[in-house]
Amino acid sequence: MIGVEVLDDPGADPALVQAELADLVLLNRWFGGTRAVIAALRALLPARGSSCSLLDVGTGAGDIPRAVVRAAAKRGVRMIPYGVDLSPLAARLALRAGVPALVSDGGALPLASKSVDFVIASQVLHHLPPPVAVAWIRELDRVARRAVVVADLRRTRVAMAAMWAVSFPLGLHPATRHDAVVSLRRGYTRAELERLLRDAGVPAVVTRHPIARLVATWLTKC
């Protein structure tokens, strides 16, 4: 693994974690993290008037599932969101934001097989060593009844330099500035992400999205 991020440390200062999670909400909104997940899910939504469930693994402050709920509502679909995060603080923040969340390791979800319609994981895999990431992918696939969307960062030097440069005028916390660049260094090439998915045995299609995003999507077998 390359570098160490605040969100990797279970003993990190809660105030620091909360500041970084707040910054990540803004980064997801401004730099394509939220849009990438919504774009992948939009084509998978059921018919107007339907209801379905969504599980966000590594939910952070719950901003992405909330955005998905709003996007689904515009299509006439009622999406019921849930979150999972290893951080108790993140789970509490998600709950306050309206996303029921539980504290759990994404590689051992306390849920029955095929118990949630859609499972998403955004910018989580790069925090994990490759063998662990493969185990997580299999677990996401186990729990999902309809489809899985895994979004992560695409590693490019340009994105690293740009992230560092824009972090100052955006007023990001210094810890966020550091971790954002480390996250991009830990990101994937398309071939690397495809290799993880093959090793996990899932029939995923990987697409590129702005800004420096990779999104893997697949339908699950019921």
Give yes or no for residue 122 having a pLDDT over 90.
yes
Cα 217 versus chain centre, distance: 13
CATH architecture of 6-219: 3-Layer(aba) Sandwich (3.40)
If you write DSSP's letter for every residue of 18-87 in order, what string do you get?
A: HHHHHHHHHHHHHSSHHHHHHHHHHTT---TT-EEEEEEET-TTSHHHHHHHHHHHHTT-EEEEEEEES-
Percent of the chain predicted with pLDDT > 70: 99
144: Cβ–Cβ under 8 A, 6 or more apart, which residues?
Answer: 55, 114, 116, 117, 118, 119, 220
What are the residue boundaries of the structural domains of the chain, listed by start? 6-219
Give yes or no for residue 83 having a pLDDT over 80.
yes
Q: Which of 84, 82, 80, 116 is nearest to 102 (CA)?
A: 84
d(CA 206, CA 110): 27
85 pLDDT tier (thresholds 50, 70, 90):
very high
Contact in structure between 100 and 79 (CB atoms under 8 Å): no
Supply the pLDDT for residue 11. Answer: 85
Q: Looking at per-residue confidence, does 198 or 7 come out higher? A: 198
Give yes or no for residue 1 having a pLDDT over 80.
no
For residues 194-201, average pLDDT: 98
Contact in structure between 196 and 126 (CB atoms under 8 Å): no
Give yes or no for residue 2 having a pLDDT over 80.
no
Q: Which of 159, 165, 163, 115 is nearest to 141 (CA)?
A: 115
Write the pLDDT tens digit of every residue in 130-175: 999 999 999 999 999 999 999 999 999 999 999 999 999 999 999 9
Give yes or no for residue 26 having a pLDDT over 80.
yes
10 pLDDT tier (thresholds 50, 70, 90):
confident
For residues 24-52, average pLDDT: 96
Contact in structure between 85 and 110 (CB atoms under 8 Å): no
For residues 9-25, average pLDDT: 92
68 pLDDT tier (thresholds 50, 70, 90):
very high
Cα dihedral across residues 5, 137, 150, 215: positive or negative: positive
d(CA 72, CA 66): 10
Supply the pLDDT for residue 222. Answer: 63
For residues 45-52, average pLDDT: 96
For residues 25-35, average pLDDT: 95
